[in-house]
Each structure stands twice: as structure tokens, then as C-alpha cells.
């Protein structure tokens, strides 16, 4: 057997590398199918309906996150060593369903008051019922991703969400043209809900975890503190992602804001590597059989190695990449994209330290680092973005770097889970 074959065999047997690969592949397939989905939609639907549907789907993505209430992270942390896997899994799924119903109904009632163009979600009782069902399906589908990861079965998630859901998502928009903007939403929502149903079946059959309709109070008490703190941490991380585009739009105008958005999306493709490896680190670190110090070193090396290579590629090709979208993007945004790409290393550092805090259950330190993350980004952005677009990625990188340093400081005195 050659040296290369030996390394490939070793990597296939290593759950950290294997699950990281599956997560990255799932993300890549999801991004590719999403791009094709909007190409199909743009061809068959009027622009106004595309705008309505894209806004609704963006809202549903946030609703799904809010419906999780941190249970996804709690399952990754506790499920690998739990003596009550069925109770913990069933409790998390049922809790997310209940939260999903409440959150989606609230949005359906309140949302159109602030965005009249989204009033079609409650235009009739069937519309409202289907909206709630599909929003809950999207939330459960996110939760099942965490269950597969906790069970070291991210390959199943690749098959279901990476391949099956992508195929269904691409096939449905043509069949739902008659339903207008709601048809676009339904096409995406049905694909996600079907994937959730198949995932639940796979959890029962392949992982041998019997999912039941129950909320076990013992499981809920065991997970709720961790889940709520994790939920707070995630909510803090969302704030700069919402605020930065608004700051750029307000101070620099819509054309520059469009350039910023495109540069950020390209940068996010690099950062997806960090998130995938970080989640795999989180899952493996939650298994008591793994040496955390060794695991942290290996995951850090993998994360910075791949991210660093991707950064160099994007920096070298920044202008040609933006040129694909138009001359204005290349003229205005080349330096912005280069800086955004460089900040991916700071994002990797912050991601790595944050997931280590989750593994060691240092949740107060995690929230503190996230507060620092928000404050630094907003302070730099509000102060300097009026001077030019390049300050937006500088603010983003500074926030990630300082937050990562705060988290690293806390890791010097780890708390035993």
C-alpha cells in the first residue's frame, strides 16, 4: 500500500476528518443547488414574486434558528454520552416543534404589519397552515443535522440534505408556478420538510434511536440551561450579520451595499470550512473517549491549513471573481474582497476557540466573547465605515480576532464538563 493510500485510509477512519468532509460536501451541494434553484425561479416567476419569496425564505431561516432554542448544540454536547438517547432526542424534537409552531404563527400574524408584501402567508387558512408546517419542518431538519453529527453519521446528512433535498428543491419550482410567490416558498419548504421526515426515519432505523412524541422533563432539565446559553450566544453572533449591511447601506449607498454583499458571500464560502471542522470538533470533543488537547491541536491544524490555502486562492483571483458579476463589483470591491478573505483566518480562530468553549461547557466565557465580538464590530463599523467600504471587513476581522483572544484566555483554565 502506498503512502497516499495509507493516509487516505487513516483519514477515512478518523471521525474528525470524515465528518468535516461530509459537512463541507453538504454545504457545497447546498450552495450549488441554491444557486441553481434561484436561476430556475428567476426564469419561471416574475421578479416581484421572486423578491417576495426571497424575503420570506430569509425570514424563515431566522425563524428556524429561533425555533431551535439551542437544542441543536445541546444534543451535540450531551447525546454522545447520554444514557437516555431516545428521551433526549424525542424531547428536543418535540420542543423544537412546539417552539416552531409558536414562532411561525407569531410571525404570520405580526410580520405582515411590518412587511405588507408578505401578507400572502395568511391570505387563507390553508396558506397559514402550510406555512406553519413548512417552517416547523425546516427547524426540525436543522435539528436532525445535529443528531447525525452527534452520532458520527454526518454521511447520512450528506445523502439526505446534500443530495436528496437538492434534487427535490430543484424539481419543485416548475410545479408550483401557479401559486406565485408562495409557490417558490413552498418548493423550498417542501424539500426541507421531506428531508426532515426522511431524517427522522433514518434516526430510528440506522441510529436505532426510537423517536416518540414526548417531552421528558428530566431530559429537558438536563439540556435547557446549556441550550438557552447556546441560544443566547448564537443570537449575539447574528447581530453584526444584520447590522453591518444596514450600516454600509446607510453610509455608502445601495450600489456599494450590493458590492459588500457579494464580497461577503464569497468570503462566507471560505469560512464554511471553519464552521464544518468546528462542528466536527464539537461533536468529537463531546465523546469522552477522545483526548481534547490532541483533538484541539489536530482540528486547529486542519482548519487553518485548509482555510489558509483558500484565502490565498481568493486573494490571487479576487478581481477576476468579482468581474464575473460586473465591472462595478470589480472596481469597487476588489480590495474589500481581499480583506474579507484575509479575515477568514480570524474567523477560523474565533470559531475554533468558541467550539472548544462549548465542549468544555464554559458557557459564560462563550457569551462574554460573543458580547466582545458584537461590541468591537459595531464600534469599528460605526466609527470608520463612513470613510470607505474596506472598513467593513476590517471591523469584521477585528471583532473575530478580539473575541477569539478572549475565548482563548478562558481556555487556559478549562472547566471539566
Q: Tell me how far CA of residue 246 lies from CA of 1, 97, 233, 352, in angstroms.
A: 56, 32, 21, 28
Of the chain, the percentage scoring pLDDT greater than 70 comes to: 93
pLDDT at 117 over 80: no
Residue 351: predicted pLDDT: 95
Residue 306: predicted pLDDT: 92
Residue 66: predicted pLDDT: 86
Q: Do 329 and 356 belong together in one domain?
A: yes
Of the listed ranges 47-61, 165-179, 229-243, 357-371, the one predicted with least confidence: 47-61
Q: Which residue has the higher pLDDT, 46 or 4?
A: 46
Q: Do 272 and 298 belong together in one domain?
A: yes
Q: Do 388 and 272 belong together in one domain?
A: yes
Residue 357: predicted pLDDT: 94
Of the chain, the percentage scoring pLDDT greater than 90 comes to: 35
Q: Do 47 and 146 belong together in one domain?
A: yes
In a domain, 312, yes or no: yes
Q: Do 249 and 361 belong together in one domain?
A: yes
In a domain, 220, yes or no: no
Residue 115: predicted pLDDT: 60
| Average pLDDT over every residue of 13-38 | 82
| Average pLDDT over every residue of 253-263 | 80
Selection from 392, 358, 170 nearest residue 267 by Cα: 392
Q: Do 145 and 67 belong together in one domain?
A: yes
**Total Cβ atoms within 10 A of residue 19:** 25
Task: Name the domain boundary from 190, 215, 240.
Answer: 215
In a domain, 417, yes or no: no
Of the listed ranges 69-83, 103-117, 255-269, 373-387, the one predicted with least confidence: 103-117
Q: Do 264 and 204 belong together in one domain?
A: no
Q: Do 207 and 302 belong together in one domain?
A: no
Q: Do 353 and 326 belong together in one domain?
A: yes
Q: Which residue has the higher pLDDT, 327 or 360?
A: 360
pLDDT at 38 over 80: no
| Average pLDDT over every residue of 17-38 | 83
Tens digit of pLDDT for each residue in 349-395? Answer: 999 999 999 999 899 999 999 999 999 999 999 999 999 989 999 99
In a domain, 240, yes or no: yes
In a domain, 416, yes or no: no
Residue 412: predicted pLDDT: 74
| Average pLDDT over every residue of 127-145 | 90
Selection from 259, 152, 158, 250 nearest residue 199 by Cα: 158
| Overall number of domains in the chain | 2
In a domain, 29, yes or no: yes
Residue 403: predicted pLDDT: 97
User: What is the per-residue burial (b if ≥16 Cβ within 10 Å, else e) of 375-414?
Assistant: bbbbebbeeebeeebbbbbbbbbbbbbbbbebbbebbeeb
Residue 290: predicted pLDDT: 59
Q: Tell me how far CA of residue 402 lies from CA of 312, 369, 391, in angstroms.
A: 23, 8, 16
Q: Do 92 and 211 belong together in one domain?
A: yes
Domain of 255, in residue numbers: 226-411
Residue 95: predicted pLDDT: 93
Residue 10: predicted pLDDT: 54
Q: Do 182 and 281 belong together in one domain?
A: no
| Average pLDDT over every residue of 127-148 | 90
Q: Do 87 and 110 belong together in one domain?
A: yes
| Average pLDDT over every residue of 76-87 | 89
In a domain, 221, yes or no: no
Tens digit of pLDDT for each residue in 272-286? Answer: 889 999 998 898 888
Tens digit of pLDDT for each residue in 194-240? Answer: 999 999 999 999 889 998 888 888 888 888 888 889 889 988 988 88
In a domain, 73, yes or no: yes
Residue 28: predicted pLDDT: 84
Amino acid at each position: 500500500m502506498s503512502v497516499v493510500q495509507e493516509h487516505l485510509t487513516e483519514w477515512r477512519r478518523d471521525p474528525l476528518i470524515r465528518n468535516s468532509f461530509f459537512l463541507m460536501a453538504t454545504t457545497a451541494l447546498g450552495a450549488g443547488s441554491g444557486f441553481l434553484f434561484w436561476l430556475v425561479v428567476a426564469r419561471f416567476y416574475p421578479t416581484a414574486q421572486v423578491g417576495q419569496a426571497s424575503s420570506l425564505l430569509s425570514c424563515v431561516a431566522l425563524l428556524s434558528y429561533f425555533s431551535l432554542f439551542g437544542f441543536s448544540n445541546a444534543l451535540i454536547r450531551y447525546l454522545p454520552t447520554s444514557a437516555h438517547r431516545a428521551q433526549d432526542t424525542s424531547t428536543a424534537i418535540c420542543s423544537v416543534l412546539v417552539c416552531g409552531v409558536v414562532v411561525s404563527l407569531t410571525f404570520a400574524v405580526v410580520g405582515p404589519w411590518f412587511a405588507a408584501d408578505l401578507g400572502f402567508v395568511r391570505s387563507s387558512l390553508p396558506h397559514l397552515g402550510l406555512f406553519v408546517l413548512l417552517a416547523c419542518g425546516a427547524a426540525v431538519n436543522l435539528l436532525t443535522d445535529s443528531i447525525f453529527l452527534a452520532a458520527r453519521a454526518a454521511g447520512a446528512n450528506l445523502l439526505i440534505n446534500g443530495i436528496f433535498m437538492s434534487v427535490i428543491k430543484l424539481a419543485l419550482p416548475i410545479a408550483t408556478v401557479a401559486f406565485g410567490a408562495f409557490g417558490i416558498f413552498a418548493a423550498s419548504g417542501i424539500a426541507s420538510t421531506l428531508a426532515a421526515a426522511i431524517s427522522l426515519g433514518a434516526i430510528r432505523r440506522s441510529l436505532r434511536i426510537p423517536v416518540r412524541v414526548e417531552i421528558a422533563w428530566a431530559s429537558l432539565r438536563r439540556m435547557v440551561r446549556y441550550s438557552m446559553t447556546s441560544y443566547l450566544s448564537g443570537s449575539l453572533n447574528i447581530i453584526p450579520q444584520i447590522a453591518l449591511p444596514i450600516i454600509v447601506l446607510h453610509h455608502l449607498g445601495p450600489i456599494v451595499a450590493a458590492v459588500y454583499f457579494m464580497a461577503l458571500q464569497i468570503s462566507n464560502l471560505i469560512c464554511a470550512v471553519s464552521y464544518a471542522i468546528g462542528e466536527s470538533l464539537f461533536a468529537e470533543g463531546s465523546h469522552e473517549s477522545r483526548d481534547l488537547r490532541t483533538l484541539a491541536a489536530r482540528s486547529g491544524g486542519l482548519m487553518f491549513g485548509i482555510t489558509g490555502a483558500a484565502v490565498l486562492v481568493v486573494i490571487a483571483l479576487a478581481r477576476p471573481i468579482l468581474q464575473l458579476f460586473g465591472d462595478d463589483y470589480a472596481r469597487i470591491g476588489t480590495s474589500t474582497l481581499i480583506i474579507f478573505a484575509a479575515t477568514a483566518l480570524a474567523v477560523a480562530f474565533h470559531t475554533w476557540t468558541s467550539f472548544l468553549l462549548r465542549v468544555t461547557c464554559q458557557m459564560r466565557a462563550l457569551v462574554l466573547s460573543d458580547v466582545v465580538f458584537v461590541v468591537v464590530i459595531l464600534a469599528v463599523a460605526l466609527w470608520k465605515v463612513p470613510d470607505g467600504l474596506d472598513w467593513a471587513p476590517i471591523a469584521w476581522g477585528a471583532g473575530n480576532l478580539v473575541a477569539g483572544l478572549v475565548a482563548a484566555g478562558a481556555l487556559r483554565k478549562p472547566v471539566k464538563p
